[in-house]
Amino acid sequence: MSTTTPLEPDTFAISANLAQPRLPRWAVVLVGVISLGLAGLVTLLTGWSLVGGLVLAILLMVAGLPTWSLLVEGRRAAADRFATALVWAAFAVVLVPLVWLIWMVVDHGLSAIDREFLTYDMRNVVGSGGGIYHALWGTILVTLAATVISVPIGLFTAIYLVEYGRGKRLARATTFLVDVMTGIPSIVAGLFALSLFVLIFGPAIRIGFGGAVALSLLMIPTVVRSAEEMLRLVPNDLREASYALGIPKWRTIVKVVLPTALGGIITGVVLAISRVIGETAPLLVVAGATDSVNFNLFDGRMMTLPVYIFSQYSSPGVVPVGMEGDPPGYARAWGAALVLIVIVMVLNLVARIIGTYFAPKTDRRR
C-alpha cells in the first residue's frame, strides 16, 4: 500500500511566488495618457511652450511606469520597464527634431517647386523666377565624378587592408591615416584641393572637377571603412574552400569575396555619397558659383545645390514695391533644400534595395 508524502509549507510558498502579478497590457497607454494630461495641464497653467510640455510628458512617463511596476510586479520587472522606457524616450528625443526638420522644409519648400523651378537656371533673373536646373546638374556631375574617383581607391585600399596587409606596418599606417582623414573638416579638404589646382593652373582657377576632388577626400575614408568591415564579415571558410580548389588569391577575391560582400559595399558607397552631397564649404571654395548651366567639369565655375542654397539665403533679393512677404531668394533656398533632401532619401532607398538584392542567398528555411 503506497503512502503519499504531504508537501512542506515552504513548497506552497515557492509555488505561489512563481505566479508574480503583472501589469495589464493597457498600462503603457494609460500611463502615457495620464502623463500627457498632466503635462498639458502644467503647460496651460505655467505658459510653457509645446516642446517643454512634451519633455515633461516624457519624463512623467519614464518615472510613472516603472513606479507602478515596482508596486505591482517587483523590483526586477520595474528595472526592465525603466530601461525600456529610457530607450523609447531616447528614440522620441531623436525622432522629434528629425520630423520637425522634415516638416519645416516641406512646409516652406513645397510651394516653390514647379516645372519652371526644376527646368530653369538663374541667368538674367532679377527678383522672382528662376530655378535650380544649373545647380541640379552641377550636383549630379560633381558627385558622380567624386564617386568615380573615390570608389576604386577606397575599395582597393580596403582589399589590401583585409586580404594582404594583416600585421604589416604599412597596413597599420594606412588605417591610422584613414581614421585621421575621417575627422578632417570639409573646409580643409576644399582648401587642399584649391591649393593643388592653384599650383597647377594659377590662382584664378575655379572648376567643377576641383570640387569633385575635394569631395573625394571626404568620401574615400567612408568607403574604405565600410568596405573593410564588409570584407571582414566574409567567412574565412569560403576563402579556404577556394584555395583548396587551387584557385589563386586574386581570383578568390574577385569571384568569392567581393560578390559575397557586394551588398554591404554598395550600401557603404551610397551612404558616402549621401554624406558629401550636401557639403557646401569645399564646393564654394573650389567650384565657385555661377548663374548658368555648365556641363563641363574641366572648364569654368559650376553651381551645386548646397552652394545655391547658401547664395540664395545670403542674398535673397528685395521684395517688390507694394508687395509683402519674404524676399524671393528664401523660397528658392527652401525649394532647393527640399530637392536635396529628396535626392538623399532616394539614394538611401536605392542602397537598401541594392543591398537586399545582392545579399548572399542561403538555403535556410525560416
**Please, is 311 exposed, middle or buried when counting C-beta atoms within 10 Å of its C-beta (0-12, 13-18, 19+)?**
buried
Distance CA 286, CA 99 (A): 33
Dihedral sign of CA atoms 350, 359, 159, 224 in order: positive
**Distant-in-sequence, close-in-space partners of 160: CB < 8 Å, separation ≥ 6:** 171, 174
> In this structure, are residues 232 and 159 in contact, taking their beta carbons and an 8 Å threshold?
no
Lowest mean pLDDT among 46-50, 179-183, 190-194, 296-300: 46-50
> Which CATH number belongs to the domain containing residue 207 in this structure?
1.10.3720.10
Residue type, 313: Y
Same domain, 43 and 158: no
Within-domain flag for 180: yes
Within 113-185, residue ranges assigned H as helices are 115-119, 133-159, 169-182
> In this structure, are residues 216 and 150 in contact, taking their beta carbons and an 8 Å threshold?
yes
**Please, is 238 exposed, middle or buried when counting C-beta atoms within 10 Å of its C-beta (0-12, 13-18, 19+)?**
middle
Within-domain flag for 1: no
Q: What is the DSSP letter of 111?
A: G
Q: Which of 44, 40, 33 is nearest to 56 (CA)?
A: 40
Within 21-49, residue ranges assigned H as helices are 27-46
Of 76, 94, 110, the residue at which a domain comes to its end is 110
Within-domain flag for 4: no
Q: Which of 144, 138, 190 is nearest to 302 (CA)?
A: 138
For the chain, the farthest-separated pair of C-alpha atoms sits apart, in whole angstroms, at 112
Same domain, 100 and 131: no
> In this structure, are residues 278 and 348 in contact, taking their beta carbons and an 8 Å threshold?
no
Distance CA 88, CA 96 (A): 12
Q: What is the DSSP letter of 128?
A: S
Asked whether residue 8 carries a pLDDT value surpassing 80, the answer given is no
Same domain, 222 and 255: yes
Asked whether residue 183 carries a pLDDT value surpassing 60, the answer given is yes
Within-domain flag for 365: no
Residue pLDDT, tens place only, 132-175: 999 999 999 999 999 999 999 999 999 999 989 888 899 899 99
Residue type, 166: R
DSSP SS3 for 166: coil
Residue 64 neighbours by CB distance under 10 Å = 18
Same domain, 164 and 309: yes
Within-domain flag for 248: yes
Same domain, 56 and 124: no
Distance CA 255, CA 249 (A): 10
Of 59, 89, 110, the residue at which a domain comes to its end is 110
Same domain, 70 and 134: no
Average pLDDT across the chain, whole number: 85
Mean pLDDT throughout 297-318?
Answer: 87
The 3-class secondary structure across 317-356, one letter per residue, is CCCCCCCCCCCHHHHHHHHHHHHHHHHHHHHHHHHHHHHH
Of 93, 110, 127, the residue at which a domain comes to its end is 110
**Distant-in-sequence, close-in-space partners of 232: CB < 8 Å, separation ≥ 6:** 162
Query: What is the four-CA torsion angle of 181, 143, 334, 183, rounded to 10 degrees?
Result: 0
- Number of domains the chain is built from: 2
Domain that holds residue 82: 22-110
Whole-number pLDDT of residue 6: 53
Same domain, 234 and 249: yes
Distance CA 58, CA 100 (A): 17
Greatest mean pLDDT among 53-62, 149-158, 161-170, 196-205: 149-158
Same domain, 184 and 331: yes
Same domain, 153 and 76: no
Asked whether residue 36 carries a pLDDT value surpassing 80, the answer given is yes
358 vs 29, more confident: 29
Within-domain flag for 7: no
Q: Read off φ and ψ for residue 199, nearest 5 degrees.
A: -65, -30
Within-domain flag for 41: yes
Instruction: For the chain, give the number of residues.
Output: 366
Whole-number pLDDT of residue 12: 45
Same domain, 190 and 93: no
Residue pLDDT, tens place only, 233-273: 888 898 899 889 888 988 999 988 998 888 889 888 988 89
Same domain, 272 and 147: yes
Within-domain flag for 30: yes
> In this structure, are residues 302 and 138 in contact, taking their beta carbons and an 8 Å threshold?
yes
Same domain, 163 and 89: no
